[in-house]
Chain A
Amino acid sequence: MAGCYALAVPSQGSVTLAQAESLAPGESGLAPIIDVRGLRKRFGEVVAVDGISFAVQAGEVFGILGPNGAGKTTTLEIIETLQRPNEGEVFVDGVDALRQPHRVKARIGVQLQAASFYPQLSLLQLIGLFAALYGVRVDGRATLRRFQLAEKAGATFQQLSGGQKQRFSLATTLLNRPRVIFLDEPTTGLDPQARRSLWETIREIQSEGTTVVLTTHYMEEAELLCDRLAIMDRGRILSTGSPRALIDELLATGFRKEVVRQDASLEDVFISLTGHGLRDE
């Protein structure tokens, strides 16, 4: 049913982020860039994803939260066409991900959780390799410069620090100028400086019109970075909405947190003492 999304959709330029955000998926006739319906995935007896449906609007940063084993990575990998679901439908940029996986792969960028890159090759060579895999021409040095990796052009991926690895991995997701990128726990294991720097980069990518779908365990990150969230547990989506809306929903149930007025957090202390500069060297 990929075709029906094309109906009554205004041209890309006329949709502002604010408009996209203000519309709930499915209500407006505005086509979501990702549409997941009734997705179910079993591994033997274990149901990893238990019939979930959600949509991601073009241009937003969409976060999937949930404890380990909630089904976040499996959900991402099904959308990325790396796994096949037992049931359900997935459309990415209007393309049926189950029927035309290669067309989806051409439109997306993927950062796997804890993935590595071909050993013994320099970053510049790795970019050359991925450009060939995507069938695109890229200026490798310019790409590395953009991600503050210019001096590391000759280094191997294995020689990079944690933050540099994540930046390089992010750089490879953009080589094919994708419509959507998927980042699986992009900031796990990074120091506060590297995490903040990556947030900035992700916002920059969003401002260029690329949709970002990410998973995270950090609530602060989700609140600061994501336009909308889905909270998952045991293969189900428990709630979706903007961070503010989810908080308001909770407050509306009468929830009150014991308020301890704190003008600064320990992280503020840490950053003010150690600075914002990246510590990759």
Chain B
Amino acid sequence: MSSLASSDFDAAPAHPSQVRAFVALSWYPLLAMGRNVATMFFGFAFPVVFIAVFGLIGNVGFGGIQLGLVDGGSGPVLDAVAGLPGVTLQPGDAADLEQRLRLGRIDGVLRLEGGRVVLSVNSASPQSRLAPLWLQGAVDRLNLQLAGVTAPALRLVVEEVAGRHERYIDFALPGQIGMALLSTGIFGTVFGLIFLKKSLVLKRMFATPVRGLTILLGQGTARLAIALLQAVVILAFGVAFFGFQLPNGVATFLLLLLLSAFGLVVFLGFGLFIAGWCASEEAAGPIANLFTLPQFLLSGTFFSTEVFPFWLRPIADSLPLSHLNAAMRAVATEGADLVAVAPQLAVLAVWGVLAYVLAARTFRWY
């Protein structure tokens, strides 16, 4: 008997495929994020600009010693100094050169007064205080010649070890990936979800037979795709334009992506917690900033946590981003493998569990 009251005729399924719903709930939000100017700017253009700046900082290195030469000097000492590699002489008037030394434009002022070689240095400049070492070598050699010593009893032989060329970009780039992941995980999730909540987009979705978990998994997957793309763009930009080195090539690259995914999943948990806890952007904004800004500054994103006073270091070293940065840096600069960074990942996992427990307790759909 067909019944009016309980007809299944033509009805949509009560439990539609969650796989199809999940794919749609990942793909369409990803499309939407791709069209969001703010996401694209802060997620992609911003880190690339940072990398460009840090790449340029890294290229400013030791430029040699600039010495001012007071006019009128001449003789064998001058010839010896002029022949030193890495030393540039700038002849000029004594008062003018002294002024430039004070300003740090040059590293020393040389006056040749017969047998006296007078070098003025700027005690405030470390490079200026190195200048006497350079001249001492030249003066010693002349002294030996004048004394008729052709075969000195002691000789200094310097051997160089070919080390990894460590530049600031090598430190900064892994930190930039960490910072991008934290931004995407927190700000993207918090503001994205609160908007969907306030504009009743989530509620409208809840009026369909889809499961809440499928909606969240879709959101998380879309964010994960964006975050991995960010990591790839940052790495590619660093490798292509600033000679960022991947110790084990593709293996390092893939491991960095794996760490990025892990980090993002942890940060997403905090994003969900804040988005679930706060009803409005006004409330969520300060809390999201309170969570992210200290980590940007304290987690070794721009500089090593070793520069902090002893009391601050335990705090700085326990933050989730610190552990992600440490793991990324170990992989990116030392070629560490997954086992080597397991301790950092373990701490990160503890943070992640804490985040999801808090999120599960506070989350409200609408």
Contacts and interface: CB of A to CB of B under 8 A. Distances in A.
B339 interface: no
Nearest to A116: B199
A176 B12 contact: yes
A184 B15 CA distance: 25
B199 A94 contact: no
Interface in B1-37: 1-7, 9-17, 20-21, 23-25, 28-29, 31-33, 35-36
A178 B209 CA distance: 12
- The listed residue with most B CB atoms (<10 A of its CB), out of A9, A95, A119, is A119
B195 A130 contact: no
A132 interface: yes
A121 B199 CA distance: 15
A130 B21 CA distance: 9
B20 A106 contact: no
A3 B31 CA distance: 45
A6 B208 contact: no
A118 B29 CA distance: 8
A273 interface: no
A121 B28 contact: yes
A136 interface: yes
Contacts of A9: 1, 3-5
Contacts of B9: 12
B28 to A, nearest CB: 5
Contact of A103 (B14, B25, B201): B14
A115 B200 contact: yes
Contacts of B23: 132
Contact of A134 (B5, B35, B209, B366): B209
Contacts of A135: 12-13, 16-17, 20-21, 209
B42 interface: no
B5 A94 contact: yes
A272 interface: no
Interface string B336-366: 0000000000000000000000000000001
Contacts of A172: 204
B208 A130 contact: yes
- The listed residue with most A CB atoms (<10 A of its CB), out of B9, B17, B196, B204, is B204
B201 A31 contact: no
A203 to B, nearest CB: 21
Interface string A227-265: 000000000000000000000000000000000000000
B366 to A, nearest CB: 8
B346 to A, nearest CB: 37
Contact of B210 (A112, A126, A133, A179): A133
A11 B11 CA distance: 16
B3 A116 contact: no
A129 B3 CA distance: 32
A10 interface: yes
Label chain A's interface by main secondary structure.
loop
Interface residues of B, number: 42
Nearest to A30: B4
A94 B3 contact: yes
A128 B24 contact: yes
A6 B17 contact: no
A31 B5 CA distance: 6
Contacts, number: 147
A110 B12 contact: no
B313 interface: no
Contact of A107 (B11, B16, B201): B11
B225 interface: no
A71 B102 CA distance: 80
Contact of B24 (A30, A102, A112, A132): A132
A31 B210 CA distance: 28
A15 B5 CA distance: 12
Contacts of A112: 200, 203-204, 207
A12 B12 contact: no
Contacts of A80: 207
B41 interface: no
Given A116-B199, A133-B209, A5 B3 contact: yes
B94 interface: no
Contacts of B17: 135
Given A105-B209, A129-B24, A33 B16 contact: no
B46 interface: no
A118 B201 contact: yes
A230 to B, nearest CB: 20
A157 to B, nearest CB: 9
Contacts of B206: 82
Contacts of A84: none
B31 A121 contact: yes
A117 B12 contact: no
Contacts of B103: none
Nearest to A177: B10
A106 B204 contact: no
B205 interface: yes
A12 B7 contact: yes
Contact of A133 (B24, B199, B366): B24
A83 to B, nearest CB: 10
B201 A117 contact: yes
26 contacts: A2-B5, A3-B6, A6-B6, A11-B2, A12-B7, A12-B9, A33-B5, A82-B206, A94-B3, A100-B14, A105-B208, A106-B11, A106-B12, A115-B201, A116-B199, A119-B36, A120-B31, A126-B28, A132-B23, A133-B25, A133-B210, A134-B16, A135-B12, A136-B13, A176-B11, A177-B11
7 nearest A-B pairs in the assembled complex, by CB-CB distance: A135-B16, A94-B6, A132-B24, A176-B12, A31-B5, A5-B5, A116-B199
Interface of A: 2-3, 5-6, 9-12, 15, 30-33, 58, 80-82, 93-95, 100, 102-103, 105-108, 110, 112, 114-121, 125-126, 128-130, 132-136, 172, 176-179
